[in-house]
Amino acid sequence: MGNENRLVSVGGKWYYLNSDGSMATGWKNVSGVWYYLDASGAMKTGWFKQGNTTYYLLPSGAMAKGWQTIGGKQYYFTSSGAMAVNTIVDGKKLGSDGAVVPNTPATPVEQAINDAAAFGATVKAQSDGTYNIYKNDVYIGDFDPIEGYIEGSNQFTTLLETLALDLGFHANAQELKSLVDQVQSKHVYNDGVIDDGKTLSIYWAPKVPAPNAAVSKALQDIASSGAIAKPGDEGSYNIFKNNEYIGYFNQSSDTHAVEGNGQYANLLETIAVDLGYNSTPAELSSTVQQVMNGTLENEDIAYDGYSLSIYW
């Protein structure tokens, strides 16, 4: 009789009979499948621990191998049936209990540390809550996730941009690159991005206050023009169109300003009026055109051939 015919069911339990008719105990291979039979000879199912090794026996009694979902959790069993623990299999981390550890999103600082490593840099926490950045053991910059800034050698501009985005700068990668490029080329001024020729500093608002009615109106008009505005530093908003930086506005308690690419003069004028510039749209438009044409000087409006600035 074949091995498979030596499995018998008695009283709802399965047993394996040896060739002499006695009941087998312990591990038994039946047609290439391993089973475990306890001291009474009954086939075990479910979890089974032998020494320091944990096994799982399927409802059929067969020893589990490979990936198994048990009780809503995933486990991995080696070819010997041993449950894998404290390791990574197929990109999945297994904990001390053998179950897959759910992926938890990295915190902003953790993501920044990971991205810095991808650039070959290291990040070290400081006692004051800031973090220093090193490349080949040489200090190249630092950031503060609470205050909302990063600064460092502009030789590492791409790294600084990447970390700023990780930590909360309100823009996508292409938008921030456009803004930094224009600041570094001296085309625009922006109070959230500063480059003095050696050091690049990027600031953002960790907590964005709710916009007041005037700012809300400006945001609506910006959106109607096909552009978008994203919070910057200290109450400012950066304006982007097709992922390109085109300007910003600031309405803090002591500063009111709109500045940007002169090609978007009409939009900048609209924003200024929304925010409280003391003029009608037609009057402001006329004044701006005269300033841009070089036929009028105005202490509130400046144009350098590229950037239009309106202050009040």
Q: What is the pLDDT of residues 28-67, one digit of tens each?
A: 998 899 999 999 999 999 999 999 999 999 999 999 999 9
Q: What percent of the chain has pLDDT over 90?
A: 78
**At 1, is the pLDDT very low, low, confident or very high (cuts 50, 70, 90)?**
very low
| pLDDT at residue number 120 | 96
What does the alpha-carbon distance between residue 21 and residue 225 come to, in Å, rounded to a whole number?
88
pLDDT tens-digit map of 115-171: 999 999 999 999 999 999 999 999 999 999 988 999 999 999 999 999 999 999 989
CA distance 179 to 226: 18
Higher pLDDT, 207 or 216: 216
Interval 68-116: pLDDT, tens: 999 999 999 999 999 999 999 998 899 999 999 987 778 899 999 999 9
Count Cα atoms within 13 angstroms, Cβ side, for 22. 4
* pLDDT score for 155: 97
Does the pLDDT value for residue 7 go beyond 90?
Answer: no
Q: Rounded distance, CA 79 to CA 73, Å? A: 20
pLDDT digits (tens, 9 = 90+) for 279-307: 999 999 999 999 999 999 999 999 999 99
